């Protein structure tokens, strides 16, 4: 397992979490998904991931389960990735459902 994912999991285990999953994603991404109930825990894990240099950290809110899902997306250098030109990247965009892009959250 990639060293950065191990660090994220070790940090998450310090908190009251609901679930942790790791898996490979689209285009060779390696993903750690952490489910938590508390906003403060979500913010602490998100901040830790960003401090580790993770460029893509997505937070989704699941109102049906009353929980937050933190996705830390890292690139695996040993996996072949599909080449995309700039125009396709702009058209596809990032994770639109990231609640962090909404104005309801502010970091302290």
Phi, psi of 97 (to 5 degrees): -80, 10
85 within domain boundaries: yes
C-alpha 71/C-alpha 62 separation (Å) is 13
Determine contact, residues 76/28, Cβ cutoff 8 Å.
yes
75 within domain boundaries: yes
pLDDT interval class at 4 (50, 70, 90): confident
Three-state DSSP class for residue 107 = coil
The mean pLDDT value of the chain amounts to: 79
pLDDT 10s digits, 16-74 = 999 999 988 767 788 899 999 999 999 999 999 999 988 789 999 988 888 999 999 88
Domain hosting 8: range is 3-101
User: What pTM does this model have?
Assistant: 0.71
The total number of structural domains in the chain stands at: 1
């Amino acid at each position: 397992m990639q060293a950065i994912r191990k660090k994220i999991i070790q940090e998450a285990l310090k908190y009251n979490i609901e679930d942790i999953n790791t898996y490979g994603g689209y285009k060779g991404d390696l993903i750690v998904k952490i489910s938590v109930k508390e906003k403060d825990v979500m913010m602490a894990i998100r901040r830790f991931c960003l401090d580790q240099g993770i460029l893509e950290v997505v937070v989704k809110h699941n109102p049906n389960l009353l929980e937050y899902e933190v996705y830390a997306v890292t690139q695996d250098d040993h996996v072949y990735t599909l080449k995309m030109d700039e125009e396709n990247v702009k058209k596809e965009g990032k994770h639109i459902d990231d609640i962090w892009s909404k104005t309801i959250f502010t970091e302290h």
